[in-house]
A and B are shown apart, each in its own frame.
Chain A
Amino acid sequence: MNSDLVIKDLRVSIEDKEILKGVNLTVRAGSIHAIMGPNGSGKSTLAYTLMGHPGYTVTGGEAWYQGQNILELEPDERSKLGLFLAFQYPVAIPGVTVANFLRAAINAHRAEEGKDPKETAIPMAQFRKQIREQMAALSIDEGFARRYLNEGFSGGEKKRVEILQMAMLQPGMAIMDETDSGLDIDALKIVSQGVNTLYEQHPDMGVLVITHYQRLLNYIKPHYVSVLMDGRIVREGGPELALELEEKGYDFIREEVASS
């Protein structure tokens, strides 16, 4: 089975407006791949579509991961296959604690057809140990485990809890949607370090980092950079492409695309 994420000619609309106009992209297992693009280029649409948000209509194309066209799977099935999305705007779930939510997610991953969920559930002691360790690594106060998920969290707290979820679920392919937005430098460092540590521990993991700015890529160093503009990948390169974008802005690519 192929642990690369292979996207072929992906076309996506929201309410009859075409946002992605044929995206071709391969995110290799074990690589960090940045997608950069200006506002409105379709970055978040790509992230949400890969995870299966019901508000996005796939009008064409495929996305292969682990031998399956994931576009045909439910969001929870994609998660169990190893896909993870760190949300730009994590959603609050009132009354459900961070710990209970994580336990439900982990147990959903461990569930096996035809087996009693109690049998496959993570032992409580093991869960407690894991969550405590991961929270410490992300400088999250232990009290957060008992707080309701994302309710009243600051921007930085929400992003750290996204990385906590990622660390607990250990995905094979992680998509980070504008993880840097709303973070100050300290929070950015903690979050990036969390991603880097996880990547070091799981060098087979693929990471798709979606960002507008080069800033995040100072902390999470990409192997590949692709530029998304107006619903298409228009340039691909190495880390130097991000620096070039930082220096020249998106306009130079726009002009290049227009003249070619």
Chain B
Amino acid sequence: MKTFPTLAELSDTTILDVSQAAGEPAWLAEQRMAAWRFFAAAEPPFWRRTDLSKFKAEQIAAAIGASATILVWERDPAGQGVVFAPLLQALHTHEAVIRQHLGTAIDSQRHKFVALNAALWQDGVFLYVPQNTAVELPLTAAFTMPAPGDAIVARNLIILDHGASVTFVEEYRSDAGAGQAFAAPITEMFLGNDATLRFVTVQTWGEDVYHIGAQKARVGRGATIEWSAVNLGARVQHVEAETALEGDGSRVEWVAATFGGGHQNLLTAPWLRHIGAKTEAHMDFKTVVKDQSYTTFDGMIKIEHQSRATVSRLEEHALHLTPKARSDSIPGLMIDTNDVARAGHASTSGEVDEEQLFYMRSRGIPRDDAIHLIVMGFFEPVLDRIPTEALRQRIAEMIEAKI
């Protein structure tokens, strides 16, 4: 596999050379080099709850070409005009729409690693669903870590035209292996008016992967995103995710399941912005921790001044299976308007409930089995939204194994 030089040795001329050799348009080469210059000059981000002290960024050598991208889908049998292809490849056929959207949801200068992605992305997919087109079967982009020391820099661009409807699954997975590996994926999603996106993002990397990602959905008038996140793998995860309910009557149903074990350090930072009128959000984030793991829910709900009659509900619950595990919950709520229909927040954190355990044991279920059932039940609202049986099964088995 061809790779860029390591980050310590990489220069903007190499980036330009690679871009030109791939036949990329000049505007993209410009974007890449601007992002690279930002990366090179920027200080590493100061993240109190994400431990990058053992992370050797300078040794990273990102792959050239979309080597880790695997697409799984039933090829558009009805000829509906759905496009699902590696983003690099789609540049040749859909340059205009890509140029119009790429980097417009997530600012390339948000922080150093976002800039790194903007400079070096090779993997990733382009999904375009035309107006009033409903895709029945889920489309999956799977990213696999081939070997220790690899770096996957994936960029996903998801565009739904007015009234389009689709299920998109992104999976990050590798077998457990020795050696550090790195993933810095970005997913940008654009939902046209009345579109429906079921977005499923599943992170099950092996145990020594650093995963630093960003995701954002911009949701148009009357559109709905059902966002389901599963975070089970990686040594360190730092994912900043945002849903911007821009259009009037736009909605999000946002659920997440995070399970930390061993020495995992998993952070999820969901931002929710209510911008349009009568937008509606339901967030349900579930975390289980055990061993010496440390997880963080660093959430923010912002109800912007121009919004009206917002409905927003956040639930976040953490379950501790062993006393040394730690989970931090930092929910924030900023309201810049007087016109809110309902905004509520519920949060719990604690050990497995003794009354539940006793009830189950009184029916003959041994303690360990009861804990399994309770944990699986705890995650059920998320598992319930996994669109394919095979993936749901795989996730359930991974959770079972972690308990």
Contact = CB atoms under 8 A, between A and B. Distances in A.
A105 B365 contact: yes
Given A93-B373, A96-B373, A105 B364 contact: yes
A127 interface: no
Contacts of B355: 91
Contacts of B356: 91-93
Contact of B379 (A74, A95, A109): A95
Contact of A108 (B364, B377, B381): B364
Interface string A94-124: 1110001100110011000000000000000
B345 interface: no
A79 B358 contact: no
A213 B366 CA distance: 34
A91 B365 contact: no
Interface of B: 353-356, 358-367, 369, 373-374, 376-381
Interface of A: 51-55, 74-76, 78-80, 84-85, 87, 90-96, 100-101, 104-105, 108-109, 148, 165, 169
Given A79-B364, A91-B356, A91-B359, A104 B377 contact: no
Contacts of B362: 51-52, 75-76, 78-79, 84-85, 87
Contacts of B381: 95
A54 B377 contact: no
A148 B381 CA distance: 11
17 contacts: A52-B358, A52-B361, A54-B354, A74-B366, A76-B365, A79-B361, A79-B364, A84-B362, A91-B359, A96-B380, A100-B373, A101-B363, A104-B365, A104-B373, A108-B366, A108-B369, A169-B364
A92 B380 CA distance: 14
Contact of B363 (A52, A53, A105): A105
A53 B358 contact: yes
Chain A to chain B: the 10 pairs with minimum beta-carbon distance, closest first: A95-B377, A95-B380, A79-B364, A96-B377, A91-B359, A75-B361, A105-B363, A108-B364, A76-B361, A108-B365
Contact of A74 (B359, B361, B373): B361
Nearest to B375: A95
Contact of B373 (A80, A91, A101): A101
A244 to B, nearest CB: 33
Interface SS majority for chain B: helix
A94 B378 contact: yes
Contacts of A109: 364
Given A91-B356, A95-B380, A96-B380, A108 B373 contact: no
A108 B359 contact: no
Given A52-B358, A92-B356, 16 more contacts: A51-B358, A52-B361, A52-B362, A74-B367, A75-B358, A75-B361, A75-B362, A76-B365, A79-B363, A79-B364, A91-B358, A93-B359, A95-B380, A96-B377, A148-B380, A169-B364
Contacts of B361: 52, 74-76, 79
Given A53-B358, A54-B354, A90-B359, A96 B365 contact: no
A96 B363 contact: no
Given A105-B363, A109-B364, A95 B358 contact: no
Nearest to B377: A95
A14 to B, nearest CB: 14
A58 B362 CA distance: 18
Contacts of B369: 104, 108
B399 to A, nearest CB: 12
Residue of B354, B364, B369 with most partner-chain A CB within 10 A: B364
Contacts of A79: 361-364
A65 to B, nearest CB: 14
Contacts of A87: 359, 362
Contacts of B354: 54-55
Contacts of A95: 376-381
A169 B364 CA distance: 9
B354 to A, nearest CB: 6
A96 B380 CA distance: 8
Contacts of A80: 364
Contacts of B380: 94-96, 148
Contacts of A169: 363-364
Contacts of B379: 95
A122 to B, nearest CB: 13
A52 B360 CA distance: 12
A15 to B, nearest CB: 15
Contacts of B360: 93, 101, 104-105
A76 B367 CA distance: 8
A104 B364 CA distance: 9
Nearest to A90: B359
A51 B355 CA distance: 13
Contact of A94 (B363, B367, B377): B377
Contacts of B366: 74, 76, 108
A75 B369 CA distance: 13
B222 to A, nearest CB: 30
A100 B366 CA distance: 15
A96 B376 contact: yes
A21 to B, nearest CB: 24
A82 to B, nearest CB: 10
Contacts of B373: 93, 96, 100-101, 104
A104 B367 CA distance: 12
Contacts of A108: 363-366, 369
Contacts of A90: 359
Contacts of A165: 363
Residue of A78, A95, A148 with most partner-chain B CB within 10 A: A95
Nearest to A150: B359
A85 B358 CA distance: 11
